Structure 1
Amino acid sequence: MQFPRPLLPLILLASLLPAACAEEKPAAGWRGELVAPAAEFSQMPFWFWNDELDNAEIARQMAEFRRQGVFGFVIHGRIGLPQEIPYMGDRWLDHVRFAVDEAARTGMHVCLYDEGMYPSGSAHGAVVRSNSAFAAKGLSARSQEIDGPAKLRIENPVEGSLVAAVAARRNGDAVDLDGALVTDKPGEEMSLPEGQWRVVTFSCVSSGGRIRGVHFGEDDGQPGAPPAADLLDPDSVRAFLRFAYEPYYEKLKDHFGKTVFAVFTDEPSELGRGAKRGLQPWTGSLADDFRRRRGYSLLPLLPALFMEAGPRTERVRQDFKLTLAERLDETYYQQLSQWCADHGVELTGHPSGSDEIRPLRLFQLPGQDMVWRWVLPGQPTMLEGANSTVAKCSSSVARHDARRRNANEIYGAYGWHLTMDEMKGLADWLMVRGVNLLYPHAFYYSVREQRAYERPPDLGMHNAWWPCYRQFADYTSRLCGLLTDSRQVCDVAVLSVANHLPWRAARWLFQNQVDFNYLEDWRLLEQSKLEGATMQVGAMTYRLVIVDHDEPLAAPVAASLDAFKKAGGLVRYCRSEPTAELVSGLHRDLAVEPPSPDLRYAHVQKYGMDFYLLTNEGEGPIDTAVTFRVRGKAEWFDPWTAEFHPAMAASEGQDGAIRVRLRRRESLVLSIDPTQPPEKATPQPRTPSLEAPIDGPWKLADASGRQLARALDDWRVAPELTEFAGTLRYETAFDAATKPGKRYELDLGGVGDWTVVWLNGRKVGVRFWAPYEFDVTESIRDGRNELRVEVTNSWANKHAPKDARASGLFGPVVLRGR
């Protein structure tokens, strides 16, 4: 984005801050807090403890974290931890104590992880070792077809215990449950009348599920993988707390609620990983629990969980799913949440489903995860599918429940070919949707041997970009700080039905700059209040509720929406591709002309000001005019450079509109002080741009100075560089005839993967993504200029050759004067 010269005092403030600037609150008012936020807003990476641990090395790595702007971490045992350091054993706890003490001494924050390794709930198998009855359970179904009349004795199952036997008339591959016969007593005899019958015997069996452990030999499918526990059994979960939570408290109680601020629980699974096929989650008392919650017996209807059973099939499945969710909430999440509240820390982490919003109300710090390249910048997955909802999932709960933070575990298993380009795009994707705490997955204690391939990449000190990581870390800290302790301005809610988050309407809202939160059906019924023509839900006020649901709504939900509509509120139904009719009658927060479907925004109030976070989610530049509902004195803040700039008016004829220009992967914050009148800025005329190609000749050298004769192309075509991963240096000289008052920009064209530029011995900057453009006004000189471009390729070329990326400086390299 092109700006006049930045405000010098604020740039000096940013440049003079010490390396540990985030540890102290600056004294420069709200601008100072934007530039140098507190340490708590830092990224909190998963720190894989995956090798022989040494306290001196732990301290050294923590110092490296701080040097690159990372002031917290999640201690996470991972495969590769030696057997000599058993999870939750004395040596493990002693190293954890050392790390927490060191964090307290240096102003860092620590989140504990409650499992070794995942999913949570087993305490690395200790729960089941303490009582084999606590093993995860499932409901199995064994069918036999019988022609009546006939008598059939129900025998005890070979495995597990009998839940019920149900005999139903066959109807092709389906069954007819009308007139079904049922018994839950072993040894009882069934008398089957004439006809074709299917008799299904249901048994509660061990699921055989496991978790991934922290030692070699404990991965999926390996005999040492720890057994999963029964998370639907409250006594089993109490044992989990005893083995996984209490030892941490006993070891660290003086740090709880201070340095140790949270405990992370990770995608609990009722069956565990690799469970026997064809099971439904189960526990001993579930049938009675279902009758109590749903008001009818499940036993005669059990076939509907495994096969088509007529018109009641879908209702039975939905009721069963709801019962499981409610029970898991009570037996697992509620117990963990209460334990954390009682011990002065917050429960954080996430459930197993991307759009699983219901359990998040029980998290003091709700979260979700984004892993396995489910969402990628520039791809439809950013707006389509269940995974596209994860950011609004956690942020909506946080806003309704007045939770100060909400989080996302991000980048896990994105592979060594993950780029900083993708990292920035995904971080922006989360933050503009309201996520204000990032758990990067992961920083590795060690990448020795196969440890480098455990759900990579290592984002931290074993990655090539680590020396330049601080700029990215500071950037996310600034935006997370802005989004915390602020009030969201948002008029629109999208209804969530049955723990499902729709994305069809959401996609249109994003592309047309209408912010929203997801509103669960239960919350609509239990927490909403009508205030005139608005709906109050916690601190939020809604004027429009959108229903993106094709099936009829439950009667109480429909009645609540009807009452809102009668009070003057807006209700819109999205049952096809949405149009502007979806938000007709709504006073929009901002208007964009010309339309820009790649522009995203979030509007928050803080410091008595209004702040608009504007993000470019597209693959090209944005150049448009935006009229904001809030009027006042406006100013731009660039969170990447920590610079402030005047906000320029758009062209004449667009009263009050502000020109918004965003490069690819750029986000800016517009601050508006409503107590001050708008400044009538006159747009600066755009002088013609002068371009001069920089054609070389170029010299290419490695770190030792060895010269490599290559043109500007992919260096992998050279036999000696085919498998090279690292940094090479391009050098050339060019002549420039500079003029006072002009600004000069260097455009490198294509780069694989990222670059640091030096001009005349002065470092100009680093760029991790296109466009690879640099303001060189302060470095260029009239006459001869010496240019050095250091290019670093992807670490995939080292660790994952099948995912190797193009490497080098490709050009064309151009100097522009304006």
Structure 2
Amino acid sequence: MNTSGPVTSPSSRFAIPGAEFRPAAFWFWNRIPGEDEIRHGLAEMKKAGLGTFMIQARLSLPRRDYLSPAYLDACRYAFAEAAKIGLEAVIYDEYAWMSGHGGGRTVAGADHLRERHLFWARGEAEGAGVGSDGQLELTVSGIRSGFLDFLGEAACDWIYEGGEARWDDWTLVSALAHGDGANTVPVEAKILAADASGCRIAVDAGDLTCPMVTVFVSARCASSRMINYLLPEAAQRFAETVYAPLAEAAEAAGPGIARAFFFDHPYAGFYGWHEHCGELGHSLLWSDDFGRSVAPGDLLALVGCVGLETARRRLAFFADHARRMHEAFFGTLRRWCDERGFDFTGHELLSHVGQWGLRGGLGALDPRGMPGVDHFGLDAFRTVTAVDAADYGSQLAAKLGDSVARSNGRSRCIVEQYSTGREMARPGLAGQWDLTIERLRAQAIRHTLLGARQFLFHAVYLDDGRPYSANDWRANPRFDFPPGLNFQPWWEDLPEVFDEVARLSAFVEEGEPLRPVALLYPLAALWQEGGDPPSAEHFGWWAEALARAGIGYDVLDERDLERGTVVDGDLVTPGGRYGMVILPDAHILSAAATIERLRTFLREGGRLFASGRLPDGLSNGLPNALVETSVRHLPAADQTAVEGFVRSLDRPCPSLHLEAAPAWNVVARHGTGWRLAAFNEAAEPRMLQLKLGNDAMLAELWNPRSGTVSPFPLPPDERIELPAQGLICLEIHPDARQRGARPGERPRAWTPALITPIELASGWEFRAVGAGDRFVPISVTAGWERQGFPNHSCAGIYRRRITLPRLKPDQRWDLVLDRVAETVECRVDGHSIGRRLFGEKRFALETSGEILVELHVRNTGANRYYADTPFAADPPTPSGLLGPPRLVAMESR
């Protein structure tokens, strides 16, 4: 987070990365810890290689304890102790999450700050619904939050006083008679009755010529602890109630100890009701002040068609609603932080979380009324960009985070990574105690190559909870989006991984990325269409295909296009320079200036690719020949077509391409040369094809595992084999004399010798660490979970004496573990010869004769924490050696 430290050389910063590059973690507090526990927890985080921590009060912490004197004393002590050992602190700003409520403190004694929503109902102006007195009666009833229902009873107790929503202060906003087109007529209406669950409205339907009536009403949730994000005074009270005491705790521990506040997913409500209708999927956050600026026809345009004006009215409404919400909440908090010298960061609702498509992560929700969707506009209020990521597949988060940061004059981002059970067919809260260090590392590397500066893990636990109970498992810290990193058996292996990720981040920090493609963020289309619109899907196809192909790109906001210029056929914006622009079903644009900028771009030699629908008038005034040569339109594209098109694109120079695997990489200009990084996520070696375009290149290998920099001889065919899970960082320069270095000799290569491998299938003993000191015989054809240790989640030690046959001087024996779960350290005669945490598990045995081999294997926490729960695997998760080790003779060449 802190980038204001002493100036260091690139290589020294690479060898010893600062906190801004080191992974961070939430520290879940389910109770107030004592001083000894705080010191131990911080020391463990430091030892693991973390650079930053954030204390996060979870729902298992009683609300009365949040911000209590004891809680603030514990925070103060944690901040001071962290400073002593060189850990950076960031202040997480909420009780649990959904920033703004402060555990209910913000609205306590200030009911007017509680969330208020707009609801609507529709009826026929003629027919059975109209009484003999000409009155049409409409109702709003059965109001529910599907999002909170999904989170369960504990969430309702957390958000609502008394555990349920109760509504009051019902207000009539507008009543309109209308047809299918633009003709609308205001009608008289009044609220007949209202209670905590809804209201009844009477509409004067006499003599109406329009067939339909729509009524809009607003109400305040009297029991909600959530605030109204449209009210600046709500954010101000949140700052005074929550930010101020946390800042005082940090400042009392010492100046500059905590450098930023972190907000988390402000939540504006997703309420449905029995009479809900129209194209807006949920209720809408509302305030009387905002309502005075809204014309009745604008409201009708949100939920239906008002003729040719529908798109314009809808776009204008959502743009104004988002602007007011961002300014009221984020603007108020940013100014508060600026006045006190804190950075301001955090992330909003990301409906693409865990996905590439813009609505695939929270597809059941319509986020258009949330403090999100306009991510570029919101990011202008942050000093450091942060995004959210779910589970362990590749996804959009880091790429979009880096892009919005660049659009606002910064670069790269923080990626918060959490685990749900969905990937493993479990309930979300049950998480992934079976997460392996290989999957964690791969995700952190992907995020870093796609644009993350810092990987923020969710989370380190204070304790590991209690045994499962069907009645209250959701409130059990053990099942609070696990894993708790520090309760994974492989926790002690993390320093190696976290050092590597931090060095990779420091390496790609330098230089300007080569990203010749701009992918438009179709904000106007997203505001126009609810549900899962084609623009959201098309965007995901392009974003994923470009990333997997290893073609550099940025996501651009429409406002970037408007303020960009065209230079030598390239579109130049504050974030980069692009020769190609992609429109993903961007059939609606917010401003005429955008269309004109695209036309200028094409006239000056740029290329435009589009899928789905095109915006009206794009080719107006352009010669047909120019359109035919510079515009490629895929009107009926699907994901396969987009992927094929991306594969056909010319690659810039330099470029990297990983054969038969996703080409996660970075190519960045650095001084007179380039920095290149690539990752092979596959389980097998893959060939990395370099396209450098200059035979006179000098290369250096920056090794992120060791922190060393050494000459690297580039192969004549520019092909490098990357091992399974292999990561490579190269710096290349066109002229060796500038560096005064020599290419160096090729490293010694080892290949299998013509000697039959020796299978070590018998004679092994095993001890389950923490379960006694006795070694017992064990088979290595199946894991220990099938041999009397079904719930053992910790280290297990395999040992065996081995007599190594004598080899020639240029030969050696390698011990190869073809199947092992999960991490393994090999010790020979009591001395460690290394750990293997991912990829191939192979150890070089630089000795001969009889040796004692010990294999210290660490599995995951799954078999312990899921035992006797509905989430347990059957059979238990494989652990330890799953196949016989082999001795393989190798020879050098």
Calculate the TM-score normalised by the size of structure 2.
Answer: 0.76
Q: 1:395 to 1:463 in 2, by over 3 A?
A: same
Preserved CA contact (<8 Å) 1:151 1:191 = yes
> What does residue 348 of structure 2 align with?
351
Q: Provide the C-alpha distance between the structure 2 equivalents of 1:67 and 1:277, rounded to a whole number of angstroms.
A: 56
Q: Provide the C-alpha distance between the structure 2 equivalents of 1:682 and 1:209, rounded to a whole number of angstroms.
A: 70
* Pair 1:757-2:797 in alignment: no
Q: 1:256 to 1:597 in 2, by over 3 A?
A: farther
Preserved CA contact (<8 Å) 1:350 1:367 = yes
Preserved CA contact (<8 Å) 2:406 2:412 = no
- SS of 1:634's equivalent in the other structure is strand
Q: Provide the C-alpha distance between the structure 2 equivalents of 1:257 and 1:508, rounded to a whole number of angstroms.
A: 47
The Cα offsets for residues 78-111 of structure 1, whole Å up to 9 and x where unpaired, read as: 1232466x22222222221111122223222110
* Pair 1:166-2:145 in alignment: no
The Cα offsets for residues 764-809 of structure 1, whole Å up to 9 and x where unpaired, read as: 22223342233x1xx4312223221122222011112314421120
* Pair 1:145-2:128 in alignment: no
> What does residue 794 of structure 1 align with?
860
- SS of 1:258's equivalent in the other structure is coil
The Cα offsets for residues 176-211 of structure 1, whole Å up to 9 and x where unpaired, read as: 56344445776997344467844332211124785x
Q: Provide the C-alpha distance between the structure 2 equivalents of 1:503 and 1:231, rounded to a whole number of angstroms.
A: 29
> What does residue 10 of structure 1 align with?
none
Alignment of 1:151-300 (within 5 A): 151-152=134-135, 160-169=170-179, 178-182=183-187, 190-193=204-207, 197-207=211-221, 227-253=225-251, 258-271=256-269, 279-285=282-288, 288=291, 291=294, 297=295, 299-300=296-297
The Cα offsets for residues 545-568 of structure 1, whole Å up to 9 and x where unpaired, read as: 222225254533222111122222
* Gap runs ≥5 in structure 1: 1-21, 170-174, 211-226, 292-296, 377-381, 383-387
Q: 1:608 to 1:100 in 2, by over 3 A?
A: farther
Which of 493, 511, 524 is residue 548 of structure 2 equivalent to?
511
> What does residue 71 of structure 1 align with?
51
Which amino acid is 1:535 matched to?
A: L
- SS of 1:713's equivalent in the other structure is coil
Which of 92, 96, 99 is residue 120 of structure 1 equivalent to?
99
1:431 deviates by 0.4
* Gap runs ≥5 in structure 2: 141-167, 193-201, 277-281, 353-357, 359-372, 421-430, 467-474, 527-535, 612-633
Q: Provide the C-alpha distance between the structure 2 equivalents of 1:516 and 1:229, rounded to a whole number of angstroms.
A: 38
Q: 1:102 to 1:307 in 2, by over 3 A?
A: same
* Pair 1:726-2:794 in alignment: yes
- SS of 1:781's equivalent in the other structure is coil
1:48 deviates by 1.0
Q: Provide the C-alpha distance between the structure 1 equivalents of 2:116 and 2:268, rounded to a whole number of angstroms.
A: 8
Preserved CA contact (<8 Å) 2:781 2:884 = no
Preserved CA contact (<8 Å) 1:395 1:434 = yes
The Cα offsets for residues 410-454 of structure 1, whole Å up to 9 and x where unpaired, read as: 134442122112101110110010101111110111223264334
- SS of 1:52's equivalent in the other structure is coil
Q: 1:249 to 1:32 in 2, by over 3 A?
A: closer
Q: Provide the C-alpha distance between the structure 1 equivalents of 2:700 and 2:275, rounded to a whole number of angstroms.
A: 59
> What does residue 108 of structure 2 align with?
129
- SS of 1:263's equivalent in the other structure is strand
- SS of 1:335's equivalent in the other structure is helix
Q: Provide the C-alpha distance between the structure 2 equivalents of 1:166 and 1:303, rounded to a whole number of angstroms.
A: 8
> What does residue 810 of structure 1 align with?
882
Q: 1:415 to 1:683 in 2, by over 3 A?
A: closer
Which amino acid is 1:436 matched to?
A: R
Q: Provide the C-alpha distance between the structure 1 equivalents of 2:477 and 2:492, rounded to a whole number of angstroms.
A: 19
> What does residue 490 of structure 1 align with?
515
Q: Provide the C-alpha distance between the structure 2 equivalents of 1:682 and 1:467, rounded to a whole number of angstroms.
A: 34
Which amino acid is 1:756 matched to?
A: E
* Pair 1:711-2:779 in alignment: yes
Q: 1:741 to 1:345 in 2, by over 3 A?
A: farther
Aligned-residue identity in percent: 21
1:127 deviates by 1.8
1:32 deviates by 3.1
> What does residue 547 of structure 1 align with?
583
Preserved CA contact (<8 Å) 2:541 2:643 = no
* Pair 1:533-2:599 in alignment: no
Q: 1:301 to 1:95 in 2, by over 3 A?
A: same
- SS of 1:737's equivalent in the other structure is coil
Which amino acid is 1:402 matched to?
A: G
Q: 1:747 to 1:648 in 2, by over 3 A?
A: farther
The Cα offsets for residues 606-636 of structure 1, whole Å up to 9 and x where unpaired, read as: 5765321111133432124312257631022
Which of 436, 439, 447 is residue 453 of structure 2 equivalent to?
436
Q: Provide the C-alpha distance between the structure 1 equivalents of 2:515 and 2:582, rounded to a whole number of angstroms.
A: 13
> What does residue 85 of structure 2 align with?
106
The number of aligned residues is 747
* Pair 1:670-2:668 in alignment: no
Q: Provide the C-alpha distance between the structure 1 equivalents of 2:787 and 2:549, rounded to a whole number of angstroms.
A: 50
Q: Provide the C-alpha distance between the structure 1 equivalents of 2:412 and 2:785, rounded to a whole number of angstroms.
A: 48
Q: Provide the C-alpha distance between the structure 2 equivalents of 1:491 and 1:270, rounded to a whole number of angstroms.
A: 37
* Pair 1:474-2:511 in alignment: no
Preserved CA contact (<8 Å) 2:679 2:726 = yes
Q: Provide the C-alpha distance between the structure 1 equivalents of 2:851 and 2:730, rounded to a whole number of angstroms.
A: 36
* Pair 1:408-2:415 in alignment: yes
Q: Provide the C-alpha distance between the structure 2 equivalents of 1:587 and 1:197, rounded to a whole number of angstroms.
A: 58
- SS of 2:757's equivalent in the other structure is strand
- SS of 2:108's equivalent in the other structure is helix
Which of 744, 762, 768 is residue 837 of structure 2 equivalent to?
768
The Cα offsets for residues 315-366 of structure 1, whole Å up to 9 and x where unpaired, read as: 6555544333222211112222222222222111101113542322321111
Q: Provide the C-alpha distance between the structure 2 equivalents of 1:736 and 1:273, rounded to a whole number of angstroms.
A: 73
Which of 766, 772, 777 is residue 700 of structure 1 equivalent to?
766
Q: Provide the C-alpha distance between the structure 2 equivalents of 1:740 and 1:282, rounded to a whole number of angstroms.
A: 77
1:728 deviates by 1.8
1:311 deviates by 7.0
Q: Provide the C-alpha distance between the structure 1 equivalents of 2:856 and 2:20, rounded to a whole number of angstroms.
A: 33
Q: 1:277 to 1:595 in 2, by over 3 A?
A: farther
Q: 1:743 to 1:434 in 2, by over 3 A?
A: farther
Which of 316, 319, 322 is residue 319 of structure 2 equivalent to?
322
The Cα offsets for residues 367-418 of structure 1, whole Å up to 9 and x where unpaired, read as: 11112x2x42xxxxx2xxxxx2111111112233332551011134442122
Greater mean deviation of Cα atoms: 549-558 or 327-336: 549-558
Preserved CA contact (<8 Å) 1:167 1:200 = yes
Preserved CA contact (<8 Å) 1:511 1:596 = no
Preserved CA contact (<8 Å) 2:826 2:835 = yes
1:541 deviates by 2.1
Which amino acid is 1:711 matched to?
A: S
Which of 331, 338, 342 is residue 341 of structure 1 equivalent to?
338
- SS of 1:465's equivalent in the other structure is helix
Q: Provide the C-alpha distance between the structure 2 equivalents of 1:692 and 1:643, rounded to a whole number of angstroms.
A: 34
Which amino acid is 2:37 matched to?
A: E
> What does residue 370 of structure 1 align with?
389
Q: 1:400 to 1:108 in 2, by over 3 A?
A: same
Calculate the TM-score normalised by the size of structure 1.
Answer: 0.83
1:498 deviates by 0.5
> What does residue 817 of structure 2 align with?
748
Which amino acid is 1:628 matched to?
A: L
Which amino acid is 1:538 matched to?
A: P
Q: Provide the C-alpha distance between the structure 2 equivalents of 1:593 and 1:197, rounded to a whole number of angstroms.
A: 61
- SS of 1:47's equivalent in the other structure is strand
The Cα offsets for residues 733-782 of structure 1, whole Å up to 9 and x where unpaired, read as: 242333334465332011122222212332122223342233x1xx4312
Q: 1:347 to 1:396 in 2, by over 3 A?
A: same
